[in-house]
Structure 1
């Protein structure tokens, strides 16, 4: 079994866990969602970075998240003594987990049981009120894996790390998460990144608006609080930016405005 070690940058230092009593299994609640997207999403939540210790994609790749001896941010009320494993997919909707992913999950659970001398495996919903890891998640099969196996950790050097909030990578990951694109999260803006940016205007809300607000504030166009709500002050900042860049000052962030913000024109 091989574990891939992505180059993730955490916002601050992580605390070492004092005890390890169980493993908690999760699903990503998204049919397509990479470890890099997950890291960007959790950074955007204000966390140090990805809250899970391991992330398993549908092709069976096991990715290291937080070091598995540190406190996670994956199960409120149960982070202090648990290891969190997240599986790519939405198993409230998807009825079958790919064999490769299931096999990887069993191998990882078996390894962690042996490493920490534990036997308890829980669903996220056993710790926190939620439906995670989904009604179709093959919990019994994965949780029942016997302690055995040897692992090898491989550093991934050809991946560009997701940067702190406000980066191009964060915007790319968020556009992917919301279904506007399926682009490579490489922190490099190009035509594909531009095509994946949705038109937003007054009344919009969410993480893409937060990205916009941070960007405009950093450029000296005051949006006020970065709250994710495209209100009057954000519209005024957009219009001021558009006017400064020689664009039609309509307060609507469309392709021409995104192109300027991304440094493409």
Structure 2
């Protein structure tokens, strides 16, 4: 199956409610996979937390663990499904939210180091 890229969500997104994502990345860096990939075009990754509200953004140390795990997951999935790791989009204008730290999600596809 050819995927176009990745869609990122936050866990307070109203479209999540138990389904609608393929991988969940917890604040502690734990990764949980849904039994099946559900969208034929994109792989959906949900990050625990609410990046739409400044007061609910995960703490710095939580974000570091979470974004490190998300970056590793994205690199593994890019290798498995032949997707560019640079094709990452937000779900919509409010998800993952205005306070999502895009600059902290660092991925180095050239040498595989994160």
| Residue 31 of structure 2 corresponds to residue 62 of structure 1 | yes
Please show how residues 166-177 of structure 1 align to structure 2 within 5 Å. none
Number of aligned residue pairs: give it.
102
Instruction: Pick closer, same or farther for the CA change 1:24–1:66 going to 2, 3 Å.
Output: farther
Candidates 32, 37, 48, aligned match of 1:88: 48
In structure 2, the partner of 1:118 is 83
RMSD of equivalent CA atoms: 2.2
TM-score (norm 1): 0.35
Instruction: Pick closer, same or farther for the CA change 1:141–1:118 going to 2, 3 Å.
Output: farther
Instruction: Tell me how far apart the structure 1 counterparts of residues 101 and 80 of structure 2 sit (CA, whole Å).
Output: 23
Candidates 100, 104, 109, aligned match of 1:137: 100
| Residue 5 of structure 2 corresponds to residue 22 of structure 1 | yes
Deviations 1:191-217 (A, max 9, x none): xxxxxxxxxxxxxxxxxxxxxxxxxxx
Q: Secondary structure at the match of 1:100?
A: helix
- The offset of 1:110, in angstroms, is 1.6
Unpaired stretches in structure 2, ≥5 consecutive residues: none
Instruction: Tell me how far apart the structure 2 counterparts of residues 114 and 24 of structure 1 sit (CA, whole Å).
Output: 17
- The offset of 1:141, in angstroms, is 3.2
- The offset of 1:104, in angstroms, is 0.7
Deviations 1:13-34 (A, max 9, x none): xxxxx4211011110127xxxx
- The offset of 1:86, in angstroms, is 0.1
Q: Which has the larger radius of gyration?
A: 1
Instruction: Tell me how far apart the structure 2 counterparts of residues 28 and 104 of structure 1 sit (CA, whole Å).
Output: 16
Instruction: Pick closer, same or farther for the CA change 1:65–1:101 going to 2, 3 Å.
Output: same
TM-score (norm 2): 0.75
- The offset of 1:145, in angstroms, is 1.1
Task: Identify, as 1 or 2, the structure richer in strand.
Answer: 2
Instruction: Tell me how far apart the structure 1 counterparts of residues 11 and 46 of structure 2 sit (CA, whole Å).
Output: 6
Instruction: Pick closer, same or farther for the CA change 1:56–1:118 going to 2, 3 Å.
Output: same
- The offset of 1:118, in angstroms, is 1.5
Q: Which runs of 4+ in 1 moved over 4 A?
A: none
* Structure having greater relative contact order (Cα 8 Å, sep ≥ 6): 2
Instruction: Pick closer, same or farther for the CA change 1:118–1:145 going to 2, 3 Å.
Output: same
Q: Secondary structure at the match of 1:109?
A: helix
Task: Identify, as 1 or 2, the structure richer in helix.
Answer: 1
Instruction: Tell me how far apart the structure 2 counterparts of residues 27 and 58 of structure 1 sit (CA, whole Å).
Output: 11
